[in-house]
Structure 1
Amino acid sequence: MADPRESGASAPPRGGGLFGGGGLFGGGRRERRPGAFEQAFAPQGDPWGTQAWAATVGWTPSDGTGPEDAALAQLVATAPVRPGKEDRPGNVVRGRGNGLDLVACDVLSPLGRDRWQSTHAVTAAPVLGDVPAFRLTPARFWRHGTGGLLHIPSPDPEFDRRWVLLGAEDGPQLRRLVDDPLVRQLLLGSDDGDELWAAAGYVAAIRPDGQRPQLIEHHARLLAAVVGALAAAA
């Protein structure tokens, strides 16, 4: 059954798939279906099939505690949802899509002894060069606390009614972010359920949900537009 919170992450068209010719990332590569053995031994802590899906498309899994995950832990700690001190990334997968290197994970919160629950899904793209810290947040999430960041308006009143951009500086990169028609189109066409931010060398998107293939696709679409807009103004 489809999750009603994911109206912005629709299923891929029949015959396409996330990495097939009709999917978001294109390239004409057909997704390999997991065999009976893979299904039988799929991780039981993978309720949405993200780890199993990653294996079929050549992405690399991680438990979130390796050396390569140190920057990801820093990113999660800076998330606009204000994670707890013990929250950490988990169920990590890495790969390429839509022209970007991507990393996706769950934010895990402790739930009793040796137990964790997923509270949010994060998808992030590492960026080269300096990107000013920013938060791009649905207006319905904003609680009028800017944390010292500046409110940067867009040229579109409808966009400003639904989305709020807060930045460390009011410079050309962040102006370009809300001036970009593709960024505004994608966000206005969404369900206003995601927040985006930049920290620890990443641009990232977060949603209060468990990570899953369709959500990775949805976030990747947003990140490709955002990274492209920032690069155009650099």
Structure 2
Amino acid sequence: MSSPRDRDGDGFEDGRPAGWQEPAHLGGDPAPGSDPAPGGGPAAGSDPAAGGGPAAGGATPRDPARPDTPAAGSTGSTAADGAGWQPAGWDLPAVEPDRPGLPAAAPAPAPTPWPADEPVTKDDPGTGRPRRGLGGLFGGRARPEEQPQGPDDRSEEPRPAPDPADPFGTLAWARQWGWVPSDGTSPQDAELVPLLQSAPVRPGRDDRPSRVLRGRGDGLDLVAFDIASPVGRDWVSTHAVTAAPVLGAVPGFRLSPARLWRHGTGGLLQIPSPDPEFDRRWVLMAAEDGPQVRRLVADPLVRQSLLGTDDGDEIWTAAGFLAAVRPDPNRPQLIEHHARLLAAVAGALAAAG
């Protein structure tokens, strides 16, 4: 009894039937005594009438000078290196076609600065006389001789069209009151970066101060600026900050509306006030309890100023500043609003100190 591996008596040689050979177009060994043309065609010099030519129904012989040319009527091709027959379309294009390199992404431009600044003067451009003191930020009415005398006088000064680069008229307002603009890149503006990064609005790593204004109002030296955030290839003003530098030791605190979510308050203490209505709408968080923070929430002017708002601002101290922030670009009304709040808070801190 023979096993499947025993091929001696069943006519197989090397696992193949006796006399079996690979077809010529698959690159197999030619039959004994034959001399096929390269590429599996009929032998050179064979007689077409004997079965190798078209008369006998065979394929058209290949050109001896071009052994890689397929026979007529064939749908395949022969590899250039003579490895054998290949189906049509077998050769694929290169994996990495020759393409021009993509241009590198352009860096984001700097935040939009103020328009070209004109010389800032505190003198009235019409009379040449110095302007009156603001009496705070907005106090001080025009002198009788400076007021328009009738409808004709008012009609002689048409209202200018709004500047696209200054849609809220903030720069025009600043020039009117003698505030000095900056683009946020001057050495003096570098001190605003730590203040910006400490803001309770959780600024981004790449945010920077933009559209900076410096002036004086309500008895305080003030600096107002926008927090500019990169969005794609442009910059967007996301928050408005007004700050006043403080002298002496001021406790670190955060005064926020109760309706706003607060982050980074770990380790801070909540300081209650004697007014339940105030505690319902505002929360004071401080690093430590003391007379200054107690005085802050006990001061009637501070509570009245905050309760008279829409609970949209946050006030905090950091980097030697007392500051207020709101999620909105800066405009004259907002700077004036923040100046009133900072003046009330600064007065309470000074009274307790």
The TM-score normalised by the length of structure 2 is: 0.56
Q: In the alignment, what sits opposite 1:186?
A: 305
Identity of aligned residues (%): 73
Q: CA deviation at 1:143?
A: 4.1
Q: Which runs of 5+ in 2 are unaligned?
A: 1-131, 147-156
Q: 1:22 to 1:74 in 2, by over 3 A?
A: closer
Q: In the alignment, what sits opposite 1:93?
A: 213
3-state DSSP of counterpart to 1:137: strand
Q: In the alignment, what sits opposite 1:26?
A: 139
3-state DSSP of counterpart to 2:222: strand
Quick one: which amino acid aligns to residue 182 of structure 1?
L
Kept in 1, the 8 Å contact 2:210–2:226? The answer is: yes
Q: In the alignment, what sits opposite 2:64?
A: none
Q: 1:144 to 1:69 in 2, by over 3 A?
A: closer
3-state DSSP of counterpart to 1:123: strand
CA distance in 2, matches of 1:78, 1:145: 10
Mapped pair 1:107 → 2:227:
yes
Q: In the alignment, what sits opposite 1:63?
A: 183
The within-5 A match list for 1:1-234 is 24-28=137-141, 44-113=164-233, 115-143=234-262, 146-234=265-353
Q: CA deviation at 1:187?
A: 0.4
Q: CA deviation digits over 1:95-120, x for unaligned, max 9?
A: 0001000110111000222x210101
Quick one: which amino acid aligns to residue 90 of structure 1?
S
3-state DSSP of counterpart to 1:131: coil
More strand by share: 1
Kept in 2, the 8 Å contact 1:20–1:29? The answer is: no
Quick one: which amino acid aligns to residue 189 of structure 1?
G
Q: In the alignment, what sits opposite 2:79?
A: none
Relative contact order (C-alpha < 8 Å, sep 6+): which is higher? 1
Aligned length: 210
Kept in 2, the 8 Å contact 1:149–1:166? The answer is: yes
Larger radius of gyration: 2
Kept in 1, the 8 Å contact 2:243–2:324? The answer is: yes
Kept in 1, the 8 Å contact 2:136–2:219? The answer is: no
Root-mean-square deviation (CA, aligned residues, Å) is 2.5
Q: Which runs of 5+ in 1 are unaligned?
A: 1-18
Q: CA deviation at 1:56?
A: 1.4
Q: CA deviation at 1:144?
A: 7.3
CA distance in 1, matches of 2:223, 2:264: 29
CA distance in 1, matches of 2:244, 2:206: 23
